[in-house]
Amino acid sequence: IAGITQAPTSQILAAGRRMTLRCTQDMRHNAMYWYRQDLGLGLRLIHYSNTAGTTGKGEVPDGYSVSRANTDDFPLTLASAVPSQTSVYFCASSDRGDAGELFFGEGSRLTVL
Amino acid sequence: GQNIDQPTEMTATEGAIVQINCTYQTSGFNGLFWYQQHAGEAPTFLSYNVLDGLEEKGRFSSFLSRSKGYSYLLLKELQMKDSASYLCAVRDSNYQLIWGAGTKLIIKP
């Protein structure tokens, strides 16, 4: 059983470095999402994609970019990491673009120093 | 603004019943979700309510009152494995999910 796979599981990087978090799903879901989770706050949507070839901005998109070249992959890139981007990042998917039941990856813990 | 409120932490005893409340103020309403998240793991779907009333699924039930902007998750016959955070999320008029910060449930023997 795969579902959604994220990589890396954990990463420490220096401020100013570029970083790409990978996300792959094998459920053929149309919609994919990137969230960040910080202590004391709810999950916050960074970017989303309702179908391959399209992307949209969520609640906190600044400093992040995404692409959706195909159905399965949805990478998240931090062009120049800053300490405030230290967080746990979750990739999720749903078979519908209207935020139906979400299936989450195991998360990527990112620390920016 | 949009807001989801739920208690930060609750403690209950193994075998007992616990109710976790969630109140919301959102731009429109298109359903309410509950997710369970064990420490260090991904959230997993528990329940979905779009109409008023109680939805029962085994030991877990979820209730919704749209007029009051209120939901609760009821967990019966608590087990140690139920120790987790429970996340409430509302789908707004734009079909975006608004998440609460989660309720950490501690189960004591």
Per-residue pLDDT reduced to its tens digit, A47-95: 999 999 999 999 999 999 999 999 999 999 999 999 999 999 999 999 8
CB spacing of B43 vs A104 below 8 angstroms? yes
Q: What is the pLDDT of residue A55?
A: 97
Residue A45: pLDDT band (50, 70, 90) is very high
Residue A97 in this model has a pLDDT that exceeds 90: no
**The residue type at B70:** Y
Q: How far apart are CA B93 and CA B22, in angstroms?
A: 19
Percentage of the residues of chain B whose pLDDT score is greater than 90 = 93
Write the CA distances from B67 to B23, B37, B71, B106, integer angstroms.
11, 28, 11, 30
Q: For the CA atoms of chain A, what is the radius of gyration?
A: 13
* Residue A87 structure tokens: 């967080």
- Residue A10 · residue A109 · CB < 8 Å: yes
Residue of A nearest to B6 (CA): A42
Q: What is the pLDDT of residue A1?
A: 60
**The residue type at B72:** Y
Q: Is B80 helix (H, G, I), strand (E, B) or coil?
A: helix
CB spacing of B101 vs A41 below 8 angstroms? yes
Nearest to B42 by CA among A63, A4, A97, A69: A4
User: Can the peptide bond before residue A8 be classed as cis, meaning omega within 30 degrees of 0?
Assistant: yes
How many Cβ pairs closer than 8 A exist between chain A and B? 45
Q: What is the pLDDT of residue B18?
A: 98
* B39 in contact with A, Cβ within 8 Å: no
